Amino acid sequence: MDKSSFDINDIMGMLPHRYPFLLVDRIMSVEPGKSIVGLKNVTYNEQFFTGHFPTLPTMPGVLMLEALAQVSGILAVLQSGLRPDAGLILYFAGIDGCRFKRPVVPGDQVLLHSELIKHKRDLWKFATRAMVGNELAAEAEMMCVLKDTSRKPAATSEPIVT
């Protein structure tokens, strides 16, 4: 795709996530192979606010990280041409230097920044940050690994013991 911004329909073609777990509403800008900026509009009707926390609705930090990972995944898709319908998917492999600096609450617009640090074979590394206005909400370095989900493990006659 030779576009620099993408709407929700474009995003759903690049990520396997769906409601309520699709956490990117729009891609604002892309510098192919280098960086991306996405947008998450945080609204009071998000499912997680009913329990986190009912009297002080706050977006869970792990969901901010997930939104940053999804934006990073879109950057990888745009660079490599990966598509979820091809049976290839990026999984979280690690997080380094994660810091939360500001709560994200209903009404906030979170800009999700991701910069590709390194890509080698099936491993991708990104520097990410979530911003609300000029304030840093969260930052982390993330590693993702590419997996082929179309190949199923061979069947075995041995019982699985857990």
Which positions are annotated as active-site residues? 52
| Cβ atoms < 10 Å from Cβ of 7 | 11
CB 24 within 8 A of CB 42: no
> What single-letter amino acid sits at 117?
I
**Residue 36 and residue 72: Cα distance in Å, rounded?**
8
Quick check: helix, strand or coil at residue 56? Answer: coil
Element (H, E) at 68: helix 61-80
Q: What is the DSSP string of 18-54?
A: -TTS----EEEEEETTTEEEEEEE--TT-GGGGTS-T
